[in-house]
Structure 1
């Protein structure tokens, strides 16, 4: 009987939870703001991890600076992660900004505008 979730999926799920806690509690950098870890994608051999995150209320320049700052702090974050997870080897961490939320908000805005334009407004003088 095949397993529903393989080891890679379980490790990435646990890593996502631990990274969120580390960034919230252990990293004391006020420049980071409120970061949400959206997804952790591990390689098959668990040697590298791509971490996708979003930041609340940040512009393009802020997003780029967050990616740069997190990738610079990657060794420290990896060290803290190694203390919390019970693995022989901890993956190399690479942070990426996840723009899917921004894209979704933009699509929702466009659909809302298209819906408003498509529905004719009723005149008060129109009666049946």
Structure 2
């Protein structure tokens, strides 16, 4: 039985500890402008996945990934020291795909806006094909509904 509240609290604490340690103790020149975005811990508190983003191009991302992999031992020992759990979780660093996904969504929304503007420009000054009121109206009767009773 897992305690998800405890795992969530530990994940939040690991995120803070890793971010502070990267800022203060890790002096690797390969490490670019790294932001720790999220941390997830398994239910048994044995493994932690740390999601991060890097500001820059692909070369800076690969260099920062190598620097994080190199600093994994220091970061894990610092996490163990500051959290006080019996078993310090192993750290796995994963590049966060959220910024790329957000950029893709923004591009798709821009295309949709451009398409809507094009349709709006094409529709200017145009009218509907057909009558103003396209719905059928009931035929005008004499009001005699009993004619078909025979």
**Per-residue deviation, 1:78:** 0.9
In the alignment, which residue of structure 2 is the partner of 1:112? 110
Contact 1:51/1:94 (CA < 8 Å) preserved in 2? yes
Q: Which has the higher contact order (CA 8 A, sep 6+)?
A: 1
Shift in Å at residue 84 of structure 1?
A: 2.0
Cα distance, 1:35 vs. partner? 1.0
Q: Secondary structure at the match of 1:82?
A: helix
- Report the Cα offset of residue 76 of structure 1: 1.2
* Superposed counterparts of 1:87-126, under 5 Å: 87-120=85-118
TM-score, normalised by the number of residues in structure 2 = 0.69
2:30 corresponds to 1:14: no
Instruction: Name structure 1 gaps, 5 residues minimum.
Output: none
Partners of 1:24 and 1:109 in 2: CA distance = 33
1:33-66 deviation per Cα after TM superposition (whole angstroms, max 9, x unaligned): 221111111111111111110011x223332332
Deviations 1:67-94 (A, max 9, x none): 2321222111111222222222211111
TM-score w.r.t. length of structure 1: 0.80
Q: Which residue of 1 aligns with 2:48?
A: 49
Structure 2: distance between partners of 1:92 and 1:82: 10
Change (3 A) 1:62 1:33: closer
Superposed CA RMSD in Å reads: 2.1
Structure with bigger gyration radius? 2
Q: Name the residue aligned to 2:136.
A: none
Structure 2: gaps spanning 5 or more residues: 126-150
